[in-house]
Chains A and B, each alone.
Chain A
Amino acid sequence: MEKFTKLTGIAAPLMRRNVDTDIITPMGRVVSVAREELGNYAFEPWRFNEDGSENPEFVLNQDRFRNAPVLLAGDNFGCGSSRETAVWGLWQMGIRCVIAPSFGDIFFGNCFKNGMLPIALPAETVEDFADQASANKNDTLFTVDLQTCTVTAPNGDTVPFDIDPARREALLEGLDEIDVTLRRRDEIAAYQNNDRDARPWIYDLPDGLETA
């Protein structure tokens, strides 16, 4: 997994509530498109017109926001389906950090498995960031620093954010969670041995159905 330590860049404001993962990666693309190409279709229903041309109104189609590494979003971003393609699609568009008042639980967890940093901040703060990001100025850069757990806005304000320590370490080090857990294989075996005595029905299943 790619490490996340610190980034400086512009932030694109997409301040809608309840942006769901079906919008981020529509099912037609989930089924038929390779992971590396998902970015071409991210936000497809909003990003493109029916004839396939770009919708100039959509924020990520505007030149100044097209390569934004930070996305500012509304409440409950990434709600709905568990599809991890939503994170991959954002990643392929160049987004590395999403800042919103709240997130869909599954999307939030999926971010950490892919080097993406989701940051929950109060709605007023995100709205203030969106105002600064939209201001017609030369310098609208944000700095997201995972070492100090702060976001510095264009106006110089530095806002701290909370993150689970283990998730922070995994992002900073680019750790593969499976490797980390496999170091505990003895603990898992010990748990299963004890549990097998306490709840044998979990482990010793009937033959069940005849299958071909």
Chain B
Amino acid sequence: MSTGRTFFDKVWDMHQVADLGDGMSLIHVDRHLLHDLSGARGLADVAANGRSVRNPELCFATPDHTVSSAPDRYRPTGHPSEKLTKDLRDLSAKFGIRLFDMGEDGHGIVHIIGPELGITLPGSVLVCGDSHTCTHGGLGALSWGIGSTEVAHVLATQTIVQKRPKTMRITFDGQIQEGVTPKDLILYVIGQIGTAGGTGYAVEYAGPVIRAMPAEGRMTICNLSIELGAKIGLIAPDEVTFDYVAGRPYAPKGEMWDRALKTWKDLPSDDDAVFDREVAIDAGDIKPQITWGTSPEQVIGVDGRVPDPAAADDAERRALLEAALDYMGLTPGAPIEGVPVDRVFIGSCTNSRISDLRAAAAVAKGRKVADGVEAWIVPGSERVKHAAEQEGLDQVFRAAGFDWREPGCSMCVAANGETVAPQQRCVSTSNRNFVGRQGPGARTHLASPAMAAAAAIAGRIADVRKLEG
């Protein structure tokens, strides 16, 4: 008896160049994104070993991790990042790889520009030396993050050696509450199943809530798959996906589009497909989320209280909670709402798309950033920045007292020297609240763009649903 196949199975099987035995496969890579950290290293590795790049036309490069987001960033800064960007630029030119440089149309965070330029396609395999490559699953691409040795492997062979992951389906049902966004849904899931819950799995997100969600929200959901432990997150393509992809610069056109569409429409999981694990989520239960600790799984509803280690059931767990609360400077058992903040960061591959900026601007409009709070908006790409300026969002932010900055990863990963100071508290729309992630000693609270904007206005962690005046 044959059973149905999952979306993942179909795309994986379509890309298998060779079965290496024992669950390992040689997989074809359709699209490869390169950035200034792992991309420059991988290219340097290829050059140092006298190898060539097999398919430079399938590679796209952009400097994002280490570039400054300052408006005057085009002057030399002396930061070590300048060498990394120069290496990426020089090596991309050497191997004939298309690069979108700072200030040019197309420049931005790899996971923002892939989708917006039509580089990311449904049913394709896309890799990049960055763990948030799972983002592209929001458009139905099978995508995952790789190390820099693997970057060199993909450059030299246009393939990657991979173990076939298990499959998990997370199905969202129910009616979403007002003020709840895709970021809240996925943070909630991470809180439920933990940061190791998805380890070893490719996770497909499904259900009516996902079907009703716009493409950009789906990218936010898939983006945080790695925070669930899953390298791969994906959402089967549908009309929402096709409408998003159609007409983008590198998307197929004319007859080619029609042929592609026919293939893509056959990709969704069969009705009788069997997953190794199924998780059901009632989205109606979910409130706006905010993390309190140093792992994305340490997350609560904004109306919740910080856990009390004294109530922990074992010593190891108690020690973990105490360490997290100590680092974060929080009082055990206290409400999270009302905790004063110093910084707000709205940006990153998780939440720097135009829909994210619209959500933040809707909160900021006609209000003022609280005294003593430094609040940044870092658009994900030149295209996002331009679109926001066309709509006047930059003016809304500036009038409210936000800093309107240049595109890049910026303070999500603090690779460009833009950091949150030690012991400063930052509400951030990024993806990781790890110790030192936004700078040594920085205290990060992850939340949605609307919640981050609300924190900037209130000067403290605030429930966006209750914001007044």
Residues of A within 8 A of B (CB): 15-18, 20, 22-23, 26-28, 30-32, 44-45, 75-76, 79-84, 87, 102-106, 109-110, 113-114, 164-167, 177-178, 181-182, 184-185, 187-188, 191-192, 195, 198-206, 208-212
Contacts and interface: CB of A to CB of B under 8 A. Distances in A.
Contacts of B152: 178
B246 interface: no
A200 B256 contact: yes
30 contacts: A16-B320, A18-B195, A20-B434, A31-B37, A44-B436, A79-B196, A81-B432, A82-B38, A82-B131, A82-B147, A84-B41, A84-B149, A103-B199, A110-B149, A113-B147, A166-B24, A167-B24, A178-B49, A181-B156, A184-B17, A188-B17, A191-B17, A201-B257, A205-B250, A206-B249, A206-B251, A206-B252, A208-B117, A209-B106, A209-B117
**Dominant secondary structure of chain B at its interface with chain A:** loop
A45 B422 CA distance: 12
B253 A31 contact: no
A184 B130 CA distance: 26
A187 B231 contact: no
Q: Which of A26, A81, A82, A205 has the most CB of B within 10 A?
A: A82
Contacts of B57: 203, 205
A205 B253 CA distance: 9
Q: Which of A80, A102, A203, A209 has the most CB of B within 10 A?
A: A80
Contacts of B250: 205-206, 208
B437 interface: yes
A183 to B, nearest CB: 10
Given A199-B263, A208-B249, A22 B149 contact: no
A165 B22 contact: yes
A181 B159 contact: yes
Contact of A164 (B18, B23, B41): B23
B44 to A, nearest CB: 11
Given A15-B316, A203-B57, 17 more contacts: A27-B413, A28-B439, A32-B80, A79-B195, A81-B131, A82-B131, A84-B149, A113-B147, A164-B22, A178-B51, A181-B161, A187-B17, A199-B260, A199-B263, A202-B121, A205-B250, A209-B106
B62 to A, nearest CB: 11
A187 B158 CA distance: 12
B451 to A, nearest CB: 22
Contact of B124 (A16, A76, A79, A202): A202
Q: Which of A23, A30, A177, A205 has the most CB of B within 10 A?
A: A205
Interface string B303-341: 000000000000010001000000000000000000000
Interface of B: 17-18, 20-24, 26, 28, 30, 37-38, 41, 49, 51, 54, 57-58, 66, 80-81, 84, 98-101, 104-106, 117-118, 121, 124, 129-131, 144-150, 152-153, 156-159, 161, 163, 165, 195-196, 199-200, 226, 229-231, 249-253, 256-257, 259-260, 263, 295, 297, 316, 320, 413-415, 432, 434-437, 439-440
Contacts of A211: 98-100, 104, 106
A45 B260 contact: no
Contacts of B249: 206, 208-209
B150 A45 contact: no
Q: Which of A20, A83, A104, A203 has the most CB of B within 10 A?
A: A83
Contacts, number: 194
Q: Which of A26, A79, A187, A195 has the most CB of B within 10 A?
A: A79
B105 A102 contact: no
Contacts of B252: 201, 206
B18 A22 contact: no
Given A84-B147, A201-B260, A209-B117, A45 B131 contact: no
Contacts of A17: 196, 320
Contacts of A209: 100, 105-106, 117, 249
A23 B439 CA distance: 11
Q: Which of A109, A165, A195 has the most CB of B within 10 A?
A: A109
A113 B195 contact: no
Contacts of A22: 432, 434-437
Contacts of A212: 101, 104
A171 to B, nearest CB: 14
Contacts of A28: 414, 439-440
A114 B149 contact: yes
Nearest to B422: A50
Given A113-B149, A164-B24, A166-B21, A188 B440 contact: no
B196 A30 contact: no
Given A31-B84, A45-B435, A209-B117, A188 B414 contact: no
A31 B159 contact: no
